[in-house]
């Protein structure tokens, strides 16, 4: 059977329209009036459906499909009927991996040298994908694919993440996805997420009490979308990108899934690592001569952890294992749906088990609220506190993470973890490819070096599509990845991707023809320790991957010339792909002004209006570690008022100015552990008035307390104390809302449903500093005009 030649020239996208040739008649009834029927755009014949599943923060040694303790039957099912890759690599961090995956270019080439929250003005770190490097979804859409993304998007520059956009980097606008349902940012509350449908904020369709869970919701939407797509356009292939927030912290999962692992991790991470290593060899996942790398001194041995803490530590891993199995189950629902549609044989599936190594961002003790560590306040979570919360790990009342020790064990047999781009523990992720129509071998393994930038060119080659030279009128730079299609039919094929640099926060390495030269510059969980050494003082290591699968035998002292050659090669690649200048700054990169990225906030005042919401911390003036005033122009009905005037953050940290029982109130919530409340002495006066909350910061460093004064117009109405504050971040997913509170609530005195203010809010203004007089309306107008 022969197929008709493709009539489209597809290197220029959109494909230029061609005017019909032939006779143009005067009267449509003329028998010579002939036009060809309109033919909807489709890819070349035989182009498969495509499903990419990208899990979050799963180390190589976690999934049972790669010898780990967490049961993943869906991954095992696909591996048994497809190919497993045991030398597939990511970038060591979430946003960079995703940007590389969706573009086919190295992460620095598309501006994503780290996460968006630490973007700088340097080209390799500005979080801006150049328009010369169009995303894969756009290329597929313009070639006739239906495209949809479900889940996490961490590639939107922080100054473009507000409700006003611009939306160029959002999936359903400039990203090429016709459908997006998910969240923007690095992580989200699995029980109560901040969701978007396209660019429109939407609320979850259920509550935790009703059985809602984000991963299940994402799977529901993905399955429904695929069914509808095949029902309405059966001849049109789809591209679905399923990227759940799982298993990124917080590790949220229904208790019954965690309880399946009760008692299985009581022996600790050192023993678990030995078990996983033995299982990996038994399954043939790793070579028979592979070595188990040593534990570094920065990682405490299980036997040296406090005995009182060990039950909590074991529970942390039980919750994580249940979380991963639960996630794999939802992926299975997508696979079942595709099979029920009769499309499984014609669907190219990538199941990438992790966007980097397992996350070691939870301290050695783990965390009930991971934001404690990000604020340098992990000491608040004492052993006694963690024990008191042990039964709540994974529940809606937690924002939990597991210990560094478990992250290290989940990266067996390699050194290190997420963020450490130098070593395979940070970048080597088990990956499965399933495509019955395109892969004849079943249950086989592939050992060629491959990288996340190879996925896009593989899909284009499988679909018979050329790499575009122009997209939307912009000439395109070449794709930097190498198609993996050559490996599908030949396990022994010589690897074609034989040179690859790695870099993240100064941790860096180079792979070349089996060899790797690497240097670890900083430790991920050491946020408050001494600064890392100068880059030139970093100690490099050398490994021969042809005989040393796990980077266990450092040959740097034996082969200094080889090491020097690879170091020079790393430098050349770094210059080529905008890795330089290296940047290991921390506090400076948090500040937009010092980092050189745009900000929506200018000056020391911000005017907000009722109904505004879903404002990330990057969209609101920063009130941390300083005095500030909140002034609101409100109308109180004769019956009194209740509800939120302004709230920032949520259950796991934040603050709120609200009215309860017709009394003005202020609550400051430190990490969900300590709550400081101030209540006015008298009821709110009826009619239109200005109410204020002034917080006078004690000073003397970060995270200090302060004095609270409440005002009705110019009259003091109540005072109180806040003994401690959060110095760095309130939440990665909760937002600021005016006149109501979305997500979880800062305090228990109201619910999300009852948070809407029952009076009228005209405006709310935040002012930094100790000047807290009533706001003059003309001054308010001048501030508004100055901000325009």
Residues ≥6 apart with Cβ < 8 Å to 728: 374, 375, 376, 590, 624, 702
Q: What is the pLDDT of residue 6?
A: 74
Measured CA to CA in angstroms, residue 189 lies from 385, 394, 409, 634 at distances of 22, 11, 25, 32
Q: Assess contact for 55 and 332: CB atoms under 8 A.
A: no
Count of Cβ atoms closer than 10 Å to residue 630 Cβ: 23
Q: Assess contact for 503 and 520: CB atoms under 8 A.
A: no
Measured CA to CA in angstroms, residue 123 lies from 120, 425, 477 at distances of 8, 27, 15
| pLDDT tens, position by position, 745-770 | 999 999 999 999 999 999 999 999 98
| Region at 769 (left for phi over 0; alpha for psi -120 to 50; beta for the rest) | left
Dihedral angle of Cα 675, 681, 685, 691, to the nearest 10 degrees: -50
Count of Cβ atoms closer than 10 Å to residue 41 Cβ: 13
Measured CA to CA in angstroms, residue 557 lies from 170, 294, 534, 541 at distances of 48, 19, 21, 9
Report the first-to-last Cα separation within the chain, whole angstroms. Answer: 64
Concatenated DSSP letters of 23-49: ---SSTTSTT---PPP----PSTTPPE
pTM for the full predicted model:
0.96
Q: Assess contact for 252 and 63: CB atoms under 8 A.
A: no
Residues ≥6 apart with Cβ < 8 Å to 466: 10, 11, 460
Query: For residue 689, which phi and psi values (nearest 5 degrees)?
Result: -150, 165
Residues found in the chain: 788
3-class secondary structure, 354: coil
Concatenated DSSP letters of 446-479: E-S-EEGGGHHHHHHHHTT-PPPSEETTEEPPPP
Measured CA to CA in angstroms, residue 752 lies from 112, 189, 676, 735, 746 at distances of 35, 15, 20, 13, 10
Which residue blocks in 519-606 are alpha helix, DSSP H?
560-576, 587-590, 592-595
Instruction: Tell me the sheet residues that pair with 243.
Output: 151
Task: Give every residue of the chain whose pLDDT is below 70, as ranges.
Answer: 1-5, 772-788
Longest Cα–Cα distance in the chain: 92
Measured CA to CA in angstroms, residue 476 lies from 121, 139, 179, 456, 470 at distances of 22, 11, 25, 15, 5
Which residue has 């993996």 as its token pair?
A: 484
**Helix pair 94-103, 455-462: axis angle to 10 deg:** 30
Q: Assess contact for 667 and 746: CB atoms under 8 A.
A: yes
Residues ≥6 apart with Cβ < 8 Å to 342: none
CA 580 to chain centre: 24
Instruction: Tell me the sheet residues that pair with 654.
Output: 649, 669
Instruction: Tell me the sheet residues that pair with 89.
Output: 428, 451
């Amino acid at each position: 059977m022969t197929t008709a030649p493709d009539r489209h020239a597809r290197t220029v996208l959109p494909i230029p329209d061609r005017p019909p040739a032939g006779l143009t008649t005067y009267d449509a009834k003329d028998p010579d009036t002939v036009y060809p029927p309109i033919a909807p755009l489709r890819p070349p014949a035989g182009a498969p459906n495509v499903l990419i599943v990208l899990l979050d923060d799963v180390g190589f040694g976690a999934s049972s499909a790669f010898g780990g303790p967490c049961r993943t039957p869906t991954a095992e099912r696909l591996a048994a009927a497809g190919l497993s890759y045991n030398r597939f690599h990511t970038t060591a961090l979430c946003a960079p991996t995703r940007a590389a995956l969706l573009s086919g270019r190295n992460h620095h080439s598309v501006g994503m040298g780290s996460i968006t929250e630490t973007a700088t003005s340097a080209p390799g770190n500005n979080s801006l994908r150049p328009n010369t490097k169009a995303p894969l979804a756009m290329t597929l859409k313009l070639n006739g694919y239906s495209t949809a993304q479900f889940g996490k998007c961490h590639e939107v520059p922080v100054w473009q993440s507000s409700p006003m956009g611009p939306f160029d980097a959002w999936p359903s606008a400039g990203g090429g996805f016709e459908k997006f349902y998910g969240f923007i940012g690095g992580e989200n509350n699995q029980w109560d997420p901040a969701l978007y449908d396209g660019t429109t904020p939407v609320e979850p369709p259920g509550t935790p009490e009703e059985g809602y869970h984000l991963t299940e919701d994402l799977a529901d939407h993905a399955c429904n979308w695929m069914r509808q797509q095949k029902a309405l356009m059966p001849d049109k292939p789809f591209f679905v990108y399923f990227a759940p927030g799982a298993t990124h912290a917080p590790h949220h999962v229904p208790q019954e899934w965690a309880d399946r692992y009760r008692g299985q991790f009581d022996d600790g991470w050192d023993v678990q690592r030995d078990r996983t290593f033995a299982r990996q060899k038994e399954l043939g996942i790793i070579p028979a001569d592979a070595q188990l790398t040593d534990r570094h001194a920065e990682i405490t041995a299980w036997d040296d952890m406090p005995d009182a803490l060990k039950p909590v530590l074991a529970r942390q891993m039980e919750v994580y294992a249940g979380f991963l199995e639960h996630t794999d189950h939802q992926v299975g629902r997508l696979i079942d749906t595709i099979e029920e549609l009769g499309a499984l044989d014609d669907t190219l599936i990538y199941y990438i088990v992790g966007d980097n190594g397992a996350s070691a961002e939870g301290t050695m003790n783990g965390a009930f609220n991971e934001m404690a560590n990000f604020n340098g306040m992990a000491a608040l979570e004492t052993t006694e506190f963690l024990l008191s919360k042990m039964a709540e790990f994974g529940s809606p009342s937690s924002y939990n993470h597991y210990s560094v020790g478990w992250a290290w064990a989940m990266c067996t047999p390699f050194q290190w973890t997420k963020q450490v781009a130098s070593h395979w523990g940070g970048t080597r992720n088990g990956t499965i490819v399933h495509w019955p129509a395109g892969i004849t071998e079943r249950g086989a393994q592939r050992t060629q070096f491959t990288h996340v930038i190879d996925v896009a060119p593989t899909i284009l080659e499988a679909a018979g599509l050329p790499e575009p030279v122009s997209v939307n009128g912009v000439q395109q730079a070449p794709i930097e990845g190498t198609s993996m299609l050559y490996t599908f039919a030949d396990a022994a094929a010589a690897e074609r991707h034989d040179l690859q640099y790695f870099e993240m926060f100064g941790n860096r390495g180079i792979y070349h023809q089996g060899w790797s030269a690497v240097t670890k510059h900083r430790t991920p969980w050491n946020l408050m320790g001494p600064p890392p050494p100068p880059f030139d003082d970093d100690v490099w290591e050398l490994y021969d991957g042809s005989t040393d699968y796990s980077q266990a035998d450092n040959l740097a002292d034996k082969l200094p010339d080889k090491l020097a050659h690879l170091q020079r090669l790393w430098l050349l690649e770094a210059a080529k792909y905008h890795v330089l200048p290296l940047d290991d700054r921390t506090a400076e990169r948090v500040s937009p002004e010092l980092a050189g990225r745009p900000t929506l906030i200018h000056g020391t005042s911000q005017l907000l209006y009722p109904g505004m919401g879903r404002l990330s911390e990057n969209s609101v003036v920063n009130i941390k570690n300083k005095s500030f005033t909140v002034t609101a122009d409100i109308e109180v009905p004769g019956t009194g008022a209740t509800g939120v005037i302004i709230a920032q953050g949520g259950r796991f940290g934040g603050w709120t100015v609200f009215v309860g029982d017709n009394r003005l109130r202020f609550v400051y919530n430190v990490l969900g552990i300590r709550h400081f409340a101030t209540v006015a002495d008298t009821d709110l006066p009826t009619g239109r008035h200005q109410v204020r909350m002034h917080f006078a910061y004690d000073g003397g460093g970060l995270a200090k307390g302060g004095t609270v004064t409440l005002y009705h117009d110019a009259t003091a109405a109540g005072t109180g104390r806040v003994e401690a504050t959060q110095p760095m971040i309130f939440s990665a997913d909760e937002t600021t809302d005016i006149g109501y509170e979305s997500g979880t609530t800062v305090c228990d005195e109201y619910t999300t449903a009852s948070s809407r203010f029952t009076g009228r809010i005209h405006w709310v203004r935040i002012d930094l500093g100790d000047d807290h007089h009533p706001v003059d309306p003309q001054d308010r107008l001048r501030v508004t005009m100055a901000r325009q």
